[in-house]
Structure 1
């Protein structure tokens, strides 16, 4: 019984720790530069939570409504970036 409680506690702790590990940070936002390739951006931020594509244009979003990074790509190159809710 005690081992089951320990392993359950460890699993909950690990999930909470991983939930706090987000790549949507001011530091990572500042690493993104105009003309960076999509693959370079995903190396910094991971795969986007959502993308809207239209021909050569793509708008991708990382994060949620409170904390978000938005990047516009043309031909898979960064053209514009914005953020909300990030703290320095």
Structure 2
């Protein structure tokens, strides 16, 4: 394996290990948290939708994700799946 391939593989492993979508960050969420605090903790959401003061944002993919539901930009409830 070339040095370049080894460096690229190492970078991928480090980036995966540094994912903010994990059990540790999930346990830091709480009802009533404001949206800015959640985004500081988890980063930019993968997708968001909503209407009439209610919204839902998701971080991650189909296998590992955190989903947060907001009312007036405050956490109402949240869930996660496949977190490590």
TM-score by length of 2: 0.85
Greater Rg, structure 1 or structure 2? 1
The total of aligned residue pairs comes to 83
Supply the distance in 2 between the matched residues of 1:82 and 1:33 (Cα, whole angstroms). Answer: 11
Let me know the Cα RMSD of the aligned residues.
1.6
SS in 2 for 1:33: coil
The match for 2:33 is 36
Is 1:54 the counterpart of 2:45? The answer is no
1:6-85 superposed matches below 5 A: 6-7=3-4, 9-85=6-82
SS at match of 1:65: coil
Question: What is the CA distance between 1:17 and its match in structure 2?
Answer: 1.6
Question: Where does structure 1 differ by over 3 angstroms across 4 or more consecutive aligned residues?
Answer: 5-9
TM-score normalized by the length of structure 1 = 0.81
- Secondary structure, aligned partner of 1:35: coil
Unmatched tracts of structure 1, length 5 or more: none
Structure 2, unaligned runs of 5 or more: none
